[in-house]
Amino acid sequence: MSDATVPTAAAGPGFRNGHYKWVALSNTTLGMLAATVNASIVIIALPAIFRGLHLDPLQASNISYLLWMLMGYLVVSAVLVVTLGRLGDIYGRVRMYNAGFAIFGLGALALPFDPFTGGAGALWLIGFRVIQAVGGAMLMANSPAILTDAFPANQRGTAMGINQVAGISGQFIGLILGGVLAAVDWRLVFIVSVPIGLGGTIWSYLSLREVGVRTPAKIDWLGNVTFAVGLIMLLTGITYGIQPYGGHSMGWTSPLVLTGIGGGLALLVSFCVIETRVASPMFDLGLMRIRAFAAGTGATLLAAIARGGLQFMLIIWLQGIWLPLHGYAYQETPLWAGIYLLALTCGFVVSGPVSGWLSDKHGARAFASGGLLVSALAFGGLLLIPVNFGYPEFAGLIFLAGAGMGLFSAPNAAAIMNSVPARQRGAASGMLATFQNSGFVLSIGVFFSLMIAGLAATLPSTLTSGLTAEGVPGLIAHRIAALPPVGSLFAAFLGYNPVKSLLTPTGVLSRLPAHNAAVLTGKAFFPQLISQPFHHGLVIVFGMAIAVLVIAAAASAFRGGRYVHDEAVAAGATASPAGATASPAGRRATENRGC
């Protein structure tokens, strides 16, 4: 094929400035919301899903099902978005987006009708969520590019603000929605996506038009394969590192984990080499020489890691400790955890569109970097409150954390998309989504590992003393305390009380006085027992998150002043002959392209 850029008939300024841009915004916002809600809706509904499938989440053999239900959708999304964004550049972003809505809807249609139980039922859900993730990746990869095509540069911050709020708040909304629907029936968690998927497909096919440029090119198959396989191996290896192996509390010495991480990194290095040598690369690494793009995507990755870690830790904190201590039954904790996290979502929804609108006028750097520092401040505040906190102070801090993330996300996304040539917006959009999704998956491995390390230092002695104080024989108490702490962590994450499950096979409960047995299996014993070890782990986790956010803020500040690629090219084209003084826009283009 020719490498020439192919404009579409409707790409003129009049079409861009008409009502179509609002149609594009509303449709792509729905698509982003649907895709990201489904990334998180399963997290908080896992207890109900496992009960519905008759799976014991505390059995070691079922941990893999749990991990793949959590990360399968995210891994597939992270792997495919760059490829699908690049295909949008070649074949049309709207065409890829429309197909994505159709695939998403078909995957959603199969999920609620899982005919199996046990492991087969889990595999059915994992498989069709992978199919749904392909559609979701097509939506995420092309939404920002469609908006960048439809909106003029001076309105993209506002458009991106609304779109990014939908995208990232979808992760928070999914937590609430999953808790509410799972309390009724676990299948509703998946049924809710069916009308959205099918309705969105019809609407997008009827309303969206190709208004951007297309860049016909050959598909970089070797680059696609090395990138996909390398990223899957790396993310899988890191995630499986949290499972115990060979008598260790974690699996970082496992051959599977080492092979995944080492092999994945080697393939990703090979991918970078390939991309510098092919005529039509899947991702033009030359974009990394644009300072606004490189700094923005780097900050995106780090912010996504911190945001994912915050979500997982807050769920453990609420479902495993705070809610049971306040009298909530374990079966009810997913629902109420979602409700009590509403403040986090509200903070993001309030600040996102406002910061996007302001960044159109004043540039992205101050809002993006400032938002990350606000979130870091909120993380520090969460470390200062007790584990059994008062809700108003907790709500205020998570609102602040969400507001900081909203301040960052919209200006950052608009600045990234403004910085790239029109013909590469699909690839840039895909790369932005890859960094976001990869960061979320990495947060599972990074923050769970840090928490497990913190628990391993204090939980065994705490568990031993707590069990023996209630009459459990010392030998049995020591044996239970020696089990890998990942079991206790997942129990807290899923809102389970593991004490009864651990003690029932030993026959101890039937031999203990009724009062002691009731205490051990009651709502308060396990949460009180794990509170101090959890806080010890939380100091490590949130300390790391604060450091990540501060580094991300520094990277974001490095982006330089406001830079719009199209305006910079136009300024360069109309510049005076050699020897004349460059225009401010031309100077700004030169300054921002350097790394």
Has residue 572 got a pLDDT over 60?
A: no
- The verdict on 252 and 362 lying in the same domain is no
- The verdict on 416 and 544 lying in the same domain is yes
Residue 460, in any domain of the structure: no
- What gap in Å lies between CA 383 and CA 377, rounded to an integer? 10
As a whole number of angstroms, the longest Cα–Cα distance in the chain is: 94
Residue 468, in any domain of the structure: no
Range of the domain at 234: 220-279
pLDDT mean across residues, the chain = 82
Residue 516, in any domain of the structure: no
Residue 562, in any domain of the structure: no
Residue 395, in any domain of the structure: yes
Cα 310 versus chain centre, distance: 11
Please give the average per-residue pLDDT across 290-317, as a whole number: 89
Instruction: State both tokens at 220.
Output: 């970089």
Distances (CA, A) of 30 to 27, 158, 224, 225, 345: 5, 16, 28, 30, 17
Question: Is the separation of the CB atoms in 321 and 451 below 8 Å?
Answer: no
Has residue 66 got a pLDDT over 50?
A: yes
Q: For position 148, which CATH number holds?
A: 1.20.1250.20
Please give the average per-residue pLDDT across 556-560, as a whole number: 84
Residue 564, in any domain of the structure: no
Residue 587 has a pLDDT of 37
Residue 484 has a pLDDT of 78
- The verdict on 160 and 127 lying in the same domain is yes
Please give the average per-residue pLDDT across 422-435, as a whole number: 79
Please give the average per-residue pLDDT across 390-397, as a whole number: 96
Show which of 235, 259, 279 is a domain's final residue: 279
- The verdict on 441 and 320 lying in the same domain is yes
- The verdict on 308 and 413 lying in the same domain is yes
- The verdict on 275 and 311 lying in the same domain is no
In terms of phi and psi (left: phi > 0; alpha: psi -120 to 50; beta: otherwise), the region of 495 is left
Helix axes 63-91, 486-494, angle to 10 degrees: 70
Question: Is the separation of the CB atoms in 346 and 399 below 8 Å?
Answer: yes
- The verdict on 268 and 212 lying in the same domain is no
Of 1-10, 398-407, 543-552, give the lowest mean pLDDT range.
1-10
Residue 399, in any domain of the structure: yes
221 HSE (CA, 13 A, CB side): 0
Q: What is the DSSP letter of 319?
A: I
Question: Is the separation of the CB atoms in 77 and 107 below 8 Å?
Answer: no
Question: Is the separation of the CB atoms in 191 and 354 below 8 Å?
Answer: no
- The verdict on 140 and 165 lying in the same domain is yes
Has residue 262 got a pLDDT over 70?
A: yes
- The verdict on 258 and 301 lying in the same domain is no
Q: In a 3-state reduction of DSSP, which class is residue 321?
A: helix
Residue 553 has a pLDDT of 95
Reported as a single tens digit per residue, the pLDDT across 329-372 is 877 887 788 889 889 888 988 887 788 777 777 777 888 899 99
Facing residues of 213 across strands? Answer: 7
Residue 233, in any domain of the structure: yes
- The verdict on 150 and 187 lying in the same domain is yes
- The verdict on 115 and 128 lying in the same domain is yes
- What gap in Å lies between CA 435 and CA 273, rounded to an integer? 20
Q: What is the DSSP letter of 318?
A: I
Has residue 576 got a pLDDT over 60?
A: no
Has residue 124 got a pLDDT over 90?
A: yes
Show which of 235, 262, 279 is a domain's final residue: 279
- The verdict on 65 and 180 lying in the same domain is yes
| Number of separate domains in the chain | 2
Query: Is this model's pTM higher than 0.85 or not?
Result: no
Residue 241 has a pLDDT of 84
Reported as a single tens digit per residue, the pLDDT across 521-530 is 888 888 888 8
- What gap in Å lies between CA 489 and CA 316, rounded to an integer? 8
